[in-house]
């Protein structure tokens, strides 16, 4: 089956074309809606870097992608879409029809920045590929197994009933993928394992995956809660929002910008949201960069330990995402002092890591530590195939 996987953001469309689980082509259109958009396309036979195109909307961008994929000659059998928020309505992937579209639209208030772009991608494909089945794979679905005591906030219950304010969790496709890969690498059934998965990219989240099911996760009602991130604050006292709104004369748009775009590594370091730069600055003696690094890894350590407690133990800790896969300093610092739980990192393996999947704990460590590059697109392709075949 030739399956197109699409991940549409507000001004971008990233794609991968799978031909029987092999990536046949991939790329992106960025700056959709601007005067000049940028198209990048890689395939075995063709490679271009950032060519300017005219893509005033997602339909034009996807049309360009289909053209590059030669979709007229070589038929695309199905499209899998990453959809960020499925609310409480979707606990697994679904074939898209008008009822599903309505429900995804109902979730817009829960993800106003993401779901509208995902919908645009689906609508564009309906117009450009009529009759081709489309599947929605939700970032929130894997976390729908959280027990109520893990997803209910300590605020009036009526707000949950009225507005569905609760923890949803995100990056579900990634947590699902790396926890299952970890079980494979450890050669044990996932139904026997307690795994903490750390997805550390520009957005960061951590999940407690017990016997294959997510039982807790750090992102909440929105992707703002939990770990420190590139520009997002993660956890802090919500009274600070009220205090700063008054002191700084902020409206909701201004407050949103402070906590989503000007906080996190960037907010503390005042220099960079990128972990590579934070590490470089810190080595050069920038104290605020060092502080940002320490806040990041300290909080990660707190979550790893608490999620181990939540599951009554832990068999494996998995790192993924740009930071999780590449920043040895983050892995070492966040696992230091967790020896009491049976975590024994092999420093040499951690330091000398090559690309790919690796176990980086000592042979006799009670808790395995793994680095596993995530592959959300592959999960989306497989889910799409599963649903279209069944
Ligand atoms: P996204 O969430 O946008 O998919 P990525 O998973 O690509 O992001 O992660 C981006 C983060 O990974 C950035 O903070 C970047 O600094 C970090 N990163 C990438 N490569 C390295 C590296 N070699 N060392 C440290 N951090 C890295």
140-170 residue pLDDT tens:
999 999 999 999 999 999 999 999 999 999 9
Centre of ligand 1 from the C-alpha of residue 148, in Å: 33
Domain ranges of the chain: 2-138, 188-376
Contact (CB, 8 A) for 146 and 60 = no
Name the token pair of 219.
């992102």
Domains 2-138 and 188-376 share a fold: yes
Query: Which residues, 6 or more positions from 111, have their beta carbon under 8 angstroms from its beta carbon?
Result: 84, 85, 222
Averaged pLDDT score across all residues of the chain: 95
CA dihedral 263, 266, 271, 277 (to 10 degrees): 170
Q: Which of 106, 139, 346, 364 is catalytic?
A: 139
Centre of ligand 1 from the C-alpha of residue 224, in Å: 18
* H helices, E strands: number in the chain: 15, 14
Q: Which residues line ligand 1 (CB under 6 A)?
A: 201-203, 230, 274-276, 321-323, 326-327
- Whole-number Å distance between alpha carbons of 313 and 298: 20
Mutate to test the pocket of ligand 1, among 84, 322, 331 (most ligand atoms within 8 A of CB): 322
pLDDT score for 331: 98
pLDDT score for 203: 93
Contact (CB, 8 A) for 254 and 248 = yes
Centre of ligand 1 from the C-alpha of residue 306, in Å: 25
Query: What angle is formed at CA 224 by the lines to CA 222 and CA 227, rounded to 5 degrees?
Result: 130
Whether 139 is catalytic is yes
Centre of ligand 1 from the C-alpha of residue 303, in Å: 20
- Whole-number Å distance between alpha carbons of 77 and 389: 11
Per-residue pLDDT band for 85 (boundaries 50, 70, 90) equals very high
The superfamily (CATH) of domain 2-138 is ATPase, nucleotide binding domain (3.30.420.40)
Per-residue pLDDT band for 7 (boundaries 50, 70, 90) equals very high
Provide the b/e sequence for 245-275 (b: ≥16 CB within 10 Å).
Answer: eeeeebeeeeeeebbbeebbbbbbbebbbbb
CATH architecture under which domain 188-376 falls: 2-Layer Sandwich (3.30)
- Map tokens 């770990």 to a residue: 227
User: In this model, does residue 337 exceed pLDDT 80?
Assistant: yes
Mutate to test the pocket of ligand 1, among 173, 266, 275 (most ligand atoms within 8 A of CB): 275
* Helix then strand then coil, % of the chain, to nearest 5: 40, 20, 35
pLDDT score for 48: 73
Query: Which residues, 6 or more positions from 82, have their beta carbon under 8 angstroms from its beta carbon?
Result: 5, 6, 7, 8, 118, 137, 139, 173, 376, 380
Q: Which residue has the higher pLDDT, 74 or 264?
A: 264
The predicted-structure confidence for 286-323, as pLDDT tens digits, reads as follows 999 999 999 999 999 999 999 999 999 999 999 999 99
pTM above 0.85, yes or no: yes
């Amino acid at each position: 089956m030739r399956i197109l996987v699409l991940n549409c953001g507000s001004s971008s469309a990233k794609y991968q074309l799978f031909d029987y689980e092999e990536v046949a082509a991939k790329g992106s259109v960025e700056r959709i809606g601007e005067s000049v958009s940028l198209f990048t396309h890689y395939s075995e036979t063709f490679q271009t870097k950032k060519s300017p195109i005219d893509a005033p909307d997602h339909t034009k961008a996807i049309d360009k992608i289909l053209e590059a994929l030669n979709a007229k000659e070589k038929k695309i059998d199905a499209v899998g879409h990453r959809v960020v928020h499925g609310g409480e309505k979707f606990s697994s992937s679904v074939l898209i029809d008008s009822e599903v579209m309505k429900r995804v639209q109902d979730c817009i208030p829960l993800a106003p920045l993401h779901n509208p772009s995902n919908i645009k991608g689906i609508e564009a494909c309906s117009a450009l590929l009529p009759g081709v089945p489309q599947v929605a794979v939700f970032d929130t679905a894997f976390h729908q197994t959280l027990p109520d005591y893990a997803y209910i906030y300590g605020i009036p219950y009526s707000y949950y009933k009225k507005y569905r304010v609760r923890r949803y969790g995100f990056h579900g496709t990634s947590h699902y993928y790396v926890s299952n890969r970890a079980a494979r690498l450890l050669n044990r059934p996932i139904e026997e394992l307690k795994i903490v998965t750390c997805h550390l990219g520009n957005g960061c989240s951590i999940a407690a995956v017990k016997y294959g099911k997510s039982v807790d996760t750090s992102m909440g009602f929105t992707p703002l809660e939990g770990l420190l991130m590139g520009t997002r604050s993660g956890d802090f006292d919500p009274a600070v929002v009220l205090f700063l709104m008054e002191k700084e004369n902020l409206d909701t748009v201004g407050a949103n910008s402070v906590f989503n775009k000007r906080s996190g590594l960037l907010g503390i370091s005042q220099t960079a949201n990128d972990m590579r730069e934070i590490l470089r600055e810190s080595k050069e003696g920038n104290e605020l960069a060092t502080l940002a690094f320490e806040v990041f890894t300290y909080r990660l350590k707190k979550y790893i330990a608490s999620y181990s407690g939540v599951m009554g133990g832990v068999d494996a800790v998995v790192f993924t995402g740009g930071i999780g896969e590449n920043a040895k300093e983050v892995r070492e610092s966040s696992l230091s002092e967790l020896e009491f739980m049976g975590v024994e990192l092999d420093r040499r393996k951690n330091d000398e890591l090559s690309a790919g999947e690796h176990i980086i704990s000592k042979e006799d460590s009670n808790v395995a530590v793994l680095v596993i590059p995530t592959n959300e697109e592959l999960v989306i392709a497989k889910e799409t195939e599963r649903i279209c075949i069944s």
